[in-house]
């Protein structure tokens, strides 16, 4: 006889057995039942993190201590987490408020932000102290809705691990899935659709400007050739295979590493283009000063050179104009221990400013 449980309305729900997987350990994203339920299997999650891996469906917050040192959050202040993600940074900032003040958080990803909001609400963070808005952070001037300004702001510009790990989102070249790459899969065109509209010159420029790809011309030529032959580039595997084909001229011992790095850069370049990431960051940085109270602190985490250059330039120009009284002279980088525990922290740079 099957076991049953009841819903809130008293309706019986038939118990569903967990789907079995082949082999000793689950390999597919949707089979990793322990990693996808971190609250239930906390001991297993700790072991995975200690091995220097990020559990599937989770995101390990980067440089949390350094961010809190920069923001110097005090109870009663009003703040903003521009990129909610898994909510790790959000929770750390809420802890600093000690139940006084308010934190606003924004995210364009309707899938992950809903999960994060559920987790945070269950931990006791209600609407009285935390407001979550389904907004792009470029709309920072619309976040509070009442004209309130911020005492501290964090913008973590990295893509969350939950998005990277889920093959259905198409962010990773490592697993087969639809070539999507949208932070909000309900809006705009996918990377597959975008790629089919680009000319050879457009692709070359995008790969160079967005990710400094050294083989931009060869890769663009191979993709363009594929498009003319009727390839749709609907999956991550198709694009990865085309990149590998473009680099087949390299010595065999160099090919594997070169293909890996070029895949990382090309997927990054496409993601930046599909989500208009530079334009979004530009709008955010331009609006930011008018949304801050005097003495407000800002911390921005970047993950590639294009973002970092833009943040550095804006901060310096705003300081010269007398808008920011102080900005970081040098970037702050994560320590060796953090990079071991969370390899995705390697490329991170933290810059700050004070109004």
Do 47 and 69 lie in one domain? The reply is: no
User: In terms of domains, do 118 and 191 share one?
Assistant: no
> Do 149 and 70 share a structural domain?
yes
Same domain, 75 and 224: no
Prediction pTM value:
0.80
**78 and 104 fall within a common domain:** yes
Which pLDDT belongs to residue 342?
Answer: 80
Q: Which domain holds residue 250?
A: 184-274
pLDDT digits (tens, 9 = 90+) for 315-328: 999 999 999 999 99
Per residue in 92-151, pLDDT (tens digit) is 999 999 999 999 999 998 888 899 999 999 999 999 999 999 999 999 999 998 889 999
- Beta strands of the chain (E only): which ranges? 4-6, 12-14, 78-81, 102-106, 130-133, 150-156, 292-302, 326-327, 349-354
* pLDDT higher than 60, residue 38: no
Q: What are phi and psi of 31, to 5 degrees?
A: -95, -10
Q: Please give the C-alpha separations between residue 121 and each of 34, 102, 129, 246, 294, in angstroms, as whole numbers.
A: 22, 14, 11, 49, 31
Q: Is residue 290 part of a domain?
A: no
- pLDDT band for 46, please (50, 70, 90 cuts): very low
Question: Does 7 map to a domain?
Answer: no
* The predicted structure's pLDDT at residue 95: 96
> Does 281 map to a domain?
no
For residues 50 and 72, membership in a common domain is answered with: no
**Count of structural domains, the chain:** 3
Cα dihedral value 133, 134, 136, 140, nearest 10: -20
Whether 173 is in a domain gets the answer: no
Write down the pLDDT at residue 61: 82
Q: Are 80 and 153 within 8 A, CB to CB?
A: yes
Same domain, 264 and 216: yes
State the pLDDT at residue 18. Answer: 52
94 shares its domain with 36 = no
Residue 137, in any domain of the structure: yes
Give the mean model confidence (pLDDT) for residues 24-41: 48
Report the C-alpha gap between 158 and 161 in whole angstroms. Answer: 9
| CATH number for position 341 | 3.40.50.150
Q: Would the pLDDT of 167 be above 80? A: no
**Contact criterion met (CB below 8 Å) for 316 and 333:** no
DSSP string, 49-80: HHTT-PPTT--PPSSHHHHHHHH---TT-EEE
In order of 106, 283, 289, the CA distances from 141 in angstroms are 12, 10, 10
Of residues 160 and 343, more confidence is placed in 343
Distance CA 350, CA 156 (A): 9
- CATH number for 252: 1.10.150
Going by pLDDT thresholds of 50, 70 and 90, the confidence category of residue 39 is: low
| Residues 6 or more apart in contact with residue 222 via CB below 8 angstroms | 242, 243, 245, 246
What are the counts of helices (DSSP H) followed by strands (DSSP E) for the chain? Answer: 13, 9
- Whether residue 118 lies inside any domain: the answer is yes
- Mean pLDDT throughout 34-50? 49
Backbone angles phi, psi at 300, to 5 degrees: -130, 125
Tell me the pLDDT tens digit for each residue of 176-200. Answer: 999 999 989 888 999 999 999 999 9
pLDDT at 41: 46
- The pLDDT of residue 2: 44
pLDDT per position as a tens digit, 198-207: 999 999 999 9
Q: Is the model's pLDDT at 314 over the cut of 70?
A: yes
Is 277 a residue whose pLDDT tops 70? yes
Tokens of 43: 């001991």
> What does the pLDDT read at residue 243?
98
25 in a structural domain: yes
> For residues 38 and 88, is the Cβ–Cβ distance under 8 A?
no
When computed from its CA atoms, the radius of gyration of the chain, rounded to whole angstroms, is 22
Element (H, E) at 89: helix 88-97
Output the DSSP codes for 227-284.
HHTT----BHHHHHHHHHHHTTTS-HHHHHHHHHHHHHHHHHHHHHHHTTHHHHHHHH
| Residue (of 87, 127, 128, 78) closest to 106 by Cα position | 87
Residues 189, 267, single domain; the answer is yes
Asked, for residue 279, whether it belongs to a domain, the answer is no
């Amino acid at each position: 006889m099957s076991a049953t449980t009841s819903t809130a309305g008293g309706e019986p729900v038939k118990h569903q057995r967990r789907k079995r997987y082949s082999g000793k350990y689950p390999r597919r994203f949707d089979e990793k039942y322990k990693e996808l339920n971190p609250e239930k299997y906390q001991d297993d999650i700790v072991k995975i993190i200690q091995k220097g891996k990020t559990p599937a469906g989770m995101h390990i917050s980067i440089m949390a201590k350094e961010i809190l040192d920069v923001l110097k959050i005090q109870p009663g202040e009003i703040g903003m987490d521009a990129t909610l993600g898994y909510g790790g940074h959000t929770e750390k900032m809420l802890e600093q408020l000690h139940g006084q003040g308010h934190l606003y958080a924004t995210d364009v990803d309707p899938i992950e932000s809903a999960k994060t909001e559920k987790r945070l609400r269950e931990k006791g963070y209600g609407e009285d102290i935390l407001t979550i808005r389904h907004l792009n952070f470029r709309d920072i001037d619309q976040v509070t809705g009442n004209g309130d300004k911020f005492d501290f702001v964090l913008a973590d510009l990295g893509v969350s691990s939950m998005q990277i790990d889920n093959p259905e989102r198409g962010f990773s070249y490592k697993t087969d899935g639809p070539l999507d790459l949208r932070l909000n899969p309900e809006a705009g065109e996918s990377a597959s659709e975008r790629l089919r509209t680009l000319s050879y010159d457009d692709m070359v420029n995008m790969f160079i400007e967005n990710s400094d790809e050294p083989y931009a011309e060869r890769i663009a030529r191979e993709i363009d050739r594929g498009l003319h032959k009727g390839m749709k580039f609907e999956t991550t595997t198709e694009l990865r295979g085309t990149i590998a084909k473009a680099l087949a001229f390299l010595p065999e011992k160099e090919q594997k590493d070169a293909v890996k790095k070029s895949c990382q850069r090309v997927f990054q370049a496409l993601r930046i283009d599909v989500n208009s990431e530079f334009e979004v960051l530009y709008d955010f940085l331009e609006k930011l000063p008018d949304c801050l109270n005097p003495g407000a602190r800002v911390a921005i985490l970047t993950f590639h050179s294009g973002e970092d250059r833009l943040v550095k330039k804006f901060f310096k120009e705003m300081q010269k104009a007398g808008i920011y009284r102080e900005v970081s002279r040098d970037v702050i980088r994560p320590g060796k221990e953090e990079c071991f525990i969370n390899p995705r922290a390697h490329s991170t740079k933290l810059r700050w400013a004070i109004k």
